[in-house]
Amino acid sequence: MSDLETPHDPAFTVHLNGSGGALRGWVVVDSLYDGLAMGGVRMTTGVTEEEVAGLARDMTHKFILAGLPIGGAKGGIVSDGTDREETFRTFGRTVKPLLHGGIHLGIDMGVTPADRAVFFAEAGYDPRYRLGAPDMPIDWRTYYEPLIDCTGHGVGVAAVTALEANGRTGPARIVVQGFGAVGRAVARFLEERGHVIVGVADVHGTVSADRLPVADLIAVTDEFGLIDRSRLPQDVTCSTEPDAWLDVDADLLVLAAQKNALNADNAHRLRAHLVVEGANLASSAEAREKARASGATLVPGVIANIGGAGSAALAVTRVVPFDLAAEARKAWVFDWIGDRVRRNTRDLLDIGAANPGDPLPELLETRRKERG
């Protein structure tokens, strides 16, 4: 059992029953660092307290690995999104003491920047101001919105680093499972560096070809990551078979969609020798064990999928040099994230090459000691 699955009690869990309105959900604070913690809010019909706790612990590990002085937290709301403005007004009133007490909550699956603006406003919370910290000289939206592709950038850096460590010098064949904002950004990143996208999956199935031009594919994809099959060229193969993305001949697989996409039931179909997680909890513990046993290498999301969380934490902890002009500040954040992802990916692969089993616990312990 790895450090990620070891039984673990969070710092505290708040059950959300709604202040001045109906609400069902949780905020789990997995850890605190100098009284601070942060993480996104997920809203789905099936989100559970256990899932939120796992995601909160994921955040703790991301920040330890990145060396950021903040703890991990996560929010969950059980809802189908009906009457979302009232839902997030109620959420804002309910979590107001947490936001003002050092628990910064952002966006995750099912929650948009507009939703965040609603619950920030209802709570009277402005992340520019915090006791004991210098004020942010710009508003949150101005800082954060230009960084939308930072997660995809970090996942791309992890992929390229893993390919280089495995001696790949020529173009690699890449499959991207999930074509939302992260999947699209990763695909662009890798194509720009000479690699070939040969398969992409969305909720309707998998499309594949000897080469899928990324710009053309994005042009027929909507904002939710759904590909319009009627606008694809005739040489593109479309499959509705479950998990057909596993059957595409590829060197590297990027998991950029749902939880446990790679699991105990489908891991035996894995053809790629390298897997990079671009989503939270993208593979199960059993799947990771099977992948390692088959000789595959997996870079977990706590290393690769840090761009969004890391860029937000850089601002909350006031590490960002806010005096830089907008483009220079964006470049600084992207470089900072890329450097952390590259270092952690290399060190993880070095540990894995030297020792059998899961290399992540050893890397986490090393980074814990470095952060103090």
Token pair listed for 309: 């969380």
Our CA angle for 30, 32, 33, nearest 5°, is 140
Give the CA distances from residue 22 to residues 99, 152, 276, in Å, rounded to whole numbers and listed in that order: 20, 35, 39
CB neighbours of residue 242 within 10 Å: 11
Q: Which of 74, 96, 330, 369 is catalytic?
A: 74
Token pair listed for 127: 């992340």
Closest CA to 22 of 76, 79, 73, 75: 79
CA 347/CA 363 separation, integer angstroms = 7
Is 290 in the active site? no
Residue type, 249: D
Closest CA to 121 of 78, 88, 73, 81: 88
Return all residues near 283 (Cβ < 8 A) that are at least 6 apart: 255, 260, 261, 262, 263, 267, 275, 277, 291, 298, 300
Closest CA to 30 of 6, 47, 9, 49: 9
CA 229/CA 211 separation, integer angstroms = 16
CA 85/CA 145 separation, integer angstroms = 21
Report CA dihedral (115, 119, 120, 121) to the nearest 10 degrees. Answer: 100
CA 8/CA 313 separation, integer angstroms = 23
Unique residue bearing structure tokens 């060197």: 251
Three-state SS at 198: strand
Give the CA distances from residue 123 to residues 12, 105, 153, in Å, rounded to whole numbers and listed in that order: 21, 12, 32
Tell me which residues are annotated as active site.
Answer: 74
